[in-house]
Amino acid sequence: MPLEAGSFKMAVSLTASPPSIRSFHTKGDSRMNSTAECKSLLECAIYWEKAGADRMCFSQPMGGGDANIKTWTWAEAVGDARKMASYLKSLDLPERSSIALFSKNCAHWLMADLAIWMAGHVSVPIYPILTADIVTYTLEYSESKLLFVGKLDPVWDDMKQGVPAGLKTVAFPLAPENEYEQWDDIITNHSPLMEIAACPADETATIIYTSGSTGKPKGAMISFEAMYRSGRGLSEYLKTNPGDRILSYLPLAHVYERFVGQSHSLYAGLPLPDRHLSPKRLSGGTAVLALNCWRDTV
């Protein structure tokens, strides 16, 4: 697919012949003594799956206030990601396929991202407030083979008109009413994937698109090394540790939240609450707000 003049799409490799996917067997690599010895965020998640198995990983409001909060330990969260990865592998998609994520911030978004990497694919976040034509353009230009849909505003009724007919779709538990395959059903019916794909440093982990507010969205290909280094650098600069907590506030489709929220939490082992948790629910630890992490420049 040709690039447009002035585009920073950098999507040429999407149509190139992908390298074969190397795999490794692990439920938690006993050789790693800390995430400083990991080579990717996926390895960090696997480290915490074992080293922090019973510690909280995610807190997710499920509707109805503080009385309905779902939590996952690291073992549970990575375990669910492994099960979803098993489902993705069963689809026999081409190696390094693009898989889109279309949802507001939630724990399932982050677990789906891990599952995409485990299965040897590339995640493509999409802003949850786009017009139908921008949705179509992004999904088709990225050549996405599957779409995850999660919690969205009522504008979803208009946005879903932009989803190409026939695109396989999986719904998170908080998604609007739909007839798609359901996350919980898939997790229930699949075993964890133990032979997960390797994440070479220079391979693309995710393609982050602009919102399209000034023209057609432009995508930047972010490598596994870039994401790992962002998490490690932030953790070392802020001196965060697993006793801290981080609040997911900015859209996960935005590069800032991917680095400050996702990458940072995976490297440092930080529990990650959703931004809709009340201050009372957050009082059990230090809330590290994404908006305030760059304290020297904000």
Candidate from 74-78, 183-187, 237-241 with smallest mean pLDDT: 237-241
Looking at residue 10, its pLDDT comes to 25
Report residue 149: phi and psi, to 5°.
-120, 130
Residue 28: is its pLDDT beyond 70? Answer: no
Candidate from 3-17, 29-43, 76-90, 272-286 with smallest mean pLDDT: 3-17
- Higher pLDDT residue, 3 or 157? 157
Strand partners for 192: none
Looking at residue 23, its pLDDT comes to 52
Candidate from 49-63, 158-172, 203-217 with smallest mean pLDDT: 203-217
* Residue 224 belongs to some domain of the structure: yes
C-alpha 76/C-alpha 95 separation (Å) is: 27
* Residue 23 belongs to some domain of the structure: no
* Residue 2 belongs to some domain of the structure: no
* Residue 29 belongs to some domain of the structure: no
* Residue 205 belongs to some domain of the structure: yes
Strands in the chain per DSSP E: 23-25, 56-61, 69-73, 98-102, 122-126, 144-149, 168-171, 181-182, 195-197, 204-209, 219-223, 244-247, 272-273, 286-289
Looking at residue 48, its pLDDT comes to 97
Residue 61: is its pLDDT beyond 50? Answer: yes
Q: How many independent structural domains does the chain possess?
A: 1
* Residue 91 belongs to some domain of the structure: yes
Strand partners for 170: 148, 181
Determine the structural domain holding residue 244 and report its residue range.
Answer: 39-59+68-292
Candidate from 13-17, 110-114, 148-152 with smallest mean pLDDT: 13-17
* Residue 216 belongs to some domain of the structure: yes
Contact between residue 249 and residue 275 where contact means Cβ atoms under 8 Å apart: yes
* Residue 125 belongs to some domain of the structure: yes
At 64-107, the pLDDT tens digits run: 887 889 999 999 999 999 999 999 999 999 999 999 999 999 99
Look at residues 164, 41, 40, 56 and name the one whose alpha carbon lies nearest to residue 102. 164
Give the pLDDT band of residue 211 (cuts 50, 70, 90).
confident
Looking at residue 218, its pLDDT comes to 93
C-alpha 296/C-alpha 298 separation (Å) is: 6
CATH number of the domain that residue 180 is part of:
3.40.50.980
Where do runs of H (alpha helix) occur along 150-284? Answer: 156-159, 183-189, 224-238, 255-257, 264-268, 279-282
C-alpha 273/C-alpha 57 separation (Å) is: 8
